[in-house]
């Protein structure tokens, strides 16, 4: 499922099917998903916590670090997709709207 051939909806549908098959939907309230997201971001931070900036740049080139980063990044994305789905927020629309706000707030020189 490479990025250039996978839609956001495909990803959201896949993670929803995965969660539904396990009976997890009752636990996927916005509050629980936000807390889970914070936890997963913390796990991602843990990988590079004590690295120098240079070491953190090189981490993706190390197979062990790369796999750990990919795993935690996937966990973060999965929860973002679940939160988007459970709140009815279209993620692509939200990103586009936020980019317009950012363009006004941080104009290019």
Nearest-5° Cα angle at 10, 65 to 23: 85
- pLDDT band at 2; cut points 50, 70, 90: confident
Alpha helices, DSSP H, located in the chain: 8-21, 30-48, 53-58, 63-87, 91-105
Structural domain range at position 59: 3-105
Q: According to the model, what pLDDT value does residue 106 have?
A: 97
DSSP conformation class of 106: S
Contact 10, 1 (CB under 8 A): yes
| pLDDT tens readout for residues 66-87 | 999 999 999 999 999 999 999 9
- pLDDT band at 30; cut points 50, 70, 90: very high
* Dist. CA 20–CA 23, nearest whole Å: 5
Q: According to the model, what pLDDT value does residue 79 have?
A: 97
| pLDDT tens readout for residues 42-60 | 999 999 999 999 999 999 9
Q: According to the model, what pLDDT value does residue 22 have?
A: 97
| pLDDT tens readout for residues 32-42 | 999 999 999 99
| pLDDT tens readout for residues 84-98 | 999 999 999 999 999
Domain at 49, CATH number: 1.10.287.1080
Structural domains counted in the chain: 1
């Amino acid at each position: 499922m490479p990025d250039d051939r996978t839609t956001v909806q495909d990803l959201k549908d896949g993670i929803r099917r995965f969660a539904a098959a396990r009976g997890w939907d009752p636990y996927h309230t916005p509050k629980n998903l936000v807390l889970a997201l914070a936890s997963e971001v913390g796990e991602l931070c843990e990988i590079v916590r004590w690295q120098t900036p240079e070491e953190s740049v090189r981490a993706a080139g190390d197979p062990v670090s790369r796999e750990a980063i990919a795993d935690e990044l996937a966990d973060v994305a999965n929860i973002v997709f679940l939160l988007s789905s459970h709140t009815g927020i279209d993620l692509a629309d939200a990103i586009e709207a936020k980019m317009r706000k950012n363009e006004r707030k941080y104009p290019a020189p």
